[in-house]
Homo-oligomer: A and B are copies of this chain.
Amino acid sequence: MSADSPVEPPAERRRRSTGRVTLADVAKAAGVSPITASRALRRDRGVGEALVEKVKAAAEGLGYVPDPAARALASSRSSHVAVLVPLLTNRLFVDLLEAVQSVLLPAGYQSLIGVTHYDVREEELLLRSYMAHRPAGLILTGFERSESGQRLVGGSGLPCVHVMEISPAPEVYCVGFSQQTAGLAMTRHLLERGRRRVAYVGAQLDARVMQRLEGYREAMQVAGLHDASLEWLDPRRSSIALGAELFEALLARHPDVDAIFFCNDDLAQGGLLAALRLGIQVPEQVAVAGFNDLEGSDQMLPPLTTVRTPRAQIGAHAASMLLALMRGERDVPHNVDVGYELVVRGST
């Protein structure tokens, strides 16, 4: 055996072996061709059950790990799924991502997480950069994007699932709920509690915040109580501090307001803390409602009434849907409405 060494150098020098256990090694060990080994491992078409077992055993024994790069190059499809969310600082999207990962990872897919900061230009750059990695699929938040971003997605022909919103469009896959209906439901709840001067406070002003506003408007108009001066829209990033600031400013300007519907729980928590600071009674003087049921909302004084949004369910369902699309399944439902839940606590 040691006799080989002196003769081989020239050949050896040419090689660039990475020391990796390769599919060829597995095939040799199993006594089949590399193609068969490849097919057996991927459970592709018919390969005799006996062979599949033999190949799997060989792979196991050698500690074979398929090379994603080689696979991607040969098949022009990687094991990556690009997942784009607006923010990681909103717990909502973290919960969504965790659920997505919990479905995708066991299925052999890696998530490439992109944070768009609610900026369509940033999203487009991310899309462009991630597309170069030939992802196997896409998960995108909502439907708001730039023209060319849209084209990138459409032109790629890649399976794509949109999350958080729903859409009747048949050419689009989505998992979410009607933000507008949820906004309507919360406003109705406040009206049913006897509130008349109900304000809506929105920040960030992304599409979903505006859809909730639509629901609020509809409920207020139906009740004949709509007053445009009670719509407070601030483009700044949603936060506890901003909620406190807007709560104080709104009540200074409109002392007769008897309920505030904040578009997100962090704002509402800030509002509740401001009320404590200012000695304003909640809900006696003013009722406070939020959206999303974020951490801490149930601990506030008083506990915050809000809309619980099933983001974990959305993430898991979207990932499963994407898996089905990537498998090439036909008649996958396009539009999945997972609903929402009104959670009434002490603040209203």
Contacts and interface: CB of A to CB of B under 8 A. Distances in A.
Interface of A: 16, 18, 65-70, 72-73, 76, 78, 88-89, 91, 94-95, 97-98, 101, 105, 110-113, 115, 128-130, 132-134, 239-241, 244, 266, 269-270, 273, 276-277, 295-296, 298-301
A240 B98 contact: no
B65 A69 contact: no
Contact of A273 (B68, B94, B299): B299
A73 B296 CA distance: 47
B299 A270 contact: yes
Contact of A134 (B69, B89, B266): B69
Nearest to A20: B76
A103 B208 CA distance: 30
B240 A299 contact: yes
6 contacts: A18-B76, A70-B73, A88-B88, A88-B98, A241-B298, A273-B300
A93 to B, nearest CB: 9
A112 to B, nearest CB: 6
Nearest to A302: B277
Given A105-B129, A266-B295, 4 more contacts: A69-B73, A88-B97, A241-B299, A270-B299
Given A241-B299, A244-B299, A273-B299, A132 B67 contact: yes
A69 B76 CA distance: 9
A91 B94 CA distance: 10
Given A73-B73, A113-B111, A133 B68 contact: yes
Contacts of A65: 128, 132
A286 to B, nearest CB: 18
Contacts of A298: 241
Contacts of A296: 240-241, 266, 269-270, 273, 296
Contacts of A68: 69, 132-133
B105 A94 contact: no
Nearest to A277: B301
Contacts of A273: 296, 299-301
B110 A112 contact: yes
A115 B133 contact: no
Contact of A240 (B78, B244, B295): B295
A129 B68 CA distance: 10
